Amino acid sequence: MPARQGSRGRGRVHVVKIGGSVATNKERPFSLRIRVLRSIMEQLAAAEGQGARFALVIGGGSFGHPVASIYRATQAPVAEAYSTITSVMLELALAVAELAREAGLRPVIHPPHSFCRPSGFKPNCSWSIVARDLEAGATPLVYGDVYLTPQGWEIVSGDELSVEMACRLRARSLIYVTDVDGILGPDGRVIERLSLGDAATEVAQLGTRGADVTGGALRKIWALRENMCPDINEIWVVNGLAEGRLLRLLRGEPVVATLITP
């Protein structure tokens, strides 16, 4: 039975994290899922036309991850790795922003390395500039990125960014757009609803059993636990490859998805 949406009012902010497996083809470096991204942006634009507002986070996918992996395995100068990875992720963000603009949204890109000072799972970003975008009617867009540390460079993930941004913007909804229908139980069926505490246990157990769950699900849960705040009432995991499902979720219609409650 499909999960049902909770109450969400018009005009409230939704932070939407578009996973790298949805935004890109992970089997081919530097390849966008243009049709999928265009559909997602059109759904967001349609929801915006009905009063919703959005802040977007993009995962690294086949852009940031392979490049970062290569530099992790080499002794390349820190500045070279930092420059290359930030450039590759900006390229991805620009491509996604163009599709968003074509759909009727007004994206503004914020590179996290320029306004975040991460510590562990906490991005520690200056979200006031993002809030300013929302007040002006724009759609802020951030993405998984790298930043400099005294030891070299480190990654700040889109999962961590999305939770902290949702908290600082007082968003009522955080939506993870993934390439699967939700968090799957041991029988392969979507778990419709579970608490954050249960989600941590469930995902960890599923991982040890090798079950098929959303990519990076355990890191998502840890990011949620480290950065959660009272303002977020709903966290959704929904399949962005399923045509029209995101829009139905935003409209409050029944959809196949997982709802995680704080």
Residue 47: CATH number of its domain: 3.40.1160.10
Q: How many degrees, rounded to 5, is the angle at CA 231 between CA 229 and CA 237? A: 80
Q: Is residue 103 part of a domain?
A: yes
- Could you give the percent of the chain with pLDDT greater than 70? 88
Q: Is residue 3 part of a domain?
A: no
Q: Is residue 8 part of a domain?
A: no
Range of the domain at 207: 13-261
Q: What is the pLDDT of residue 203?
A: 62
Q: Is residue 233 part of a domain?
A: yes
pLDDT digits (tens, 9 = 90+) for 98-142: 999 999 999 999 999 999 999 888 899 999 999 999 999 999 999
List of E strands, the chain: 13-18, 53-58, 107-109, 139-143, 145-149, 152-156, 173-178, 193-195, 234-239, 258-261
In sequence order, which residues have a C-beta less than 8 Å from that of residue 235 and are 6 or more positions away? 173, 174, 175, 176, 196, 224, 259, 260, 261, 262
Q: Is residue 238 part of a domain?
A: yes
Encoding tokens for residue 10?
């018009």
Is residue 210 scored above 60 in pLDDT? no
Q: Is residue 2 part of a domain?
A: no
Element spanning 248, H or E: helix 245-251
What's the pTM? 0.89
Query: Is the distance from CB of 43 to CB of 247 less than 8 angstroms?
Result: yes
pLDDT band at 85 (very low <50, low <70, confident <90, very high): very high
120: phi > 0 → left, psi -120 to 50 → alpha, else beta; which? left
Q: What is the pLDDT of residue 4?
A: 41
Average pLDDT on 214-218 reads: 53
Q: What is the pLDDT of residue 11?
A: 59
Q: Is residue 21 part of a domain?
A: yes
Number of separate domains in the chain: 1
Q: Is residue 6 part of a domain?
A: no
